[in-house]
Amino acid sequence: MVQGHTITIEQGRVRVRVVHAGRVLAESDRPLVLRETGCPVRYYIPAQDVRTDLLTPSDTHTHCPFKGTASYWSLPGAPDLVWAYPDPEPDVAAIRDHLCFYDTEVADVS
């Protein structure tokens, strides 16, 4: 990691739900919580808990020097709504096979 830049990943103790246009896209009580310097907390949801059948792969890819290259998926009228790191950097390997959305509802289940 770069001096002063940290990423931590832990097993979440919250329930996350993603709803777009009234449709539930994901719901999980086993998200990974990713905290990264300078970024909001992000919840990475196991692919099995995401309605991937509703998502269309996007041509968008971005690169993070700490996490790797992200792939994106869209819904009609909601481009690049969700992303994942199919081949993440070794330090964040836990997020493989998890998807992340910009907006999630979080409920404490601890």
Instruction: Give tens-digit pLDDT for 77-92.
Output: 999 999 999 999 999 9
pLDDT for position 110: 47
Question: Residue 104: is its pLDDT beyond 90?
Answer: no
Res 2: pLDDT: 60
Question: What is the C-alpha to C-alpha distance for residues 24 and 36, in angstroms, rounded to an integer?
Answer: 27
- Which residue, 69, 71, 67, is CA-closest to 91? 67
Q: Which tens digit of pLDDT belongs to each residue from 6-60? A: 999 999 998 999 998 889 999 999 999 999 999 999 999 999 999 999 999 999 9
User: Where along the chain do its domains lie?
Assistant: 7-108
Nearest-angstrom CA–CA distance, 42 and 105: 11
- The pTM score is 0.91
CATH number of 7-108: 2.170.150.40
97 near 47, Cβ under 8 Å?
A: yes
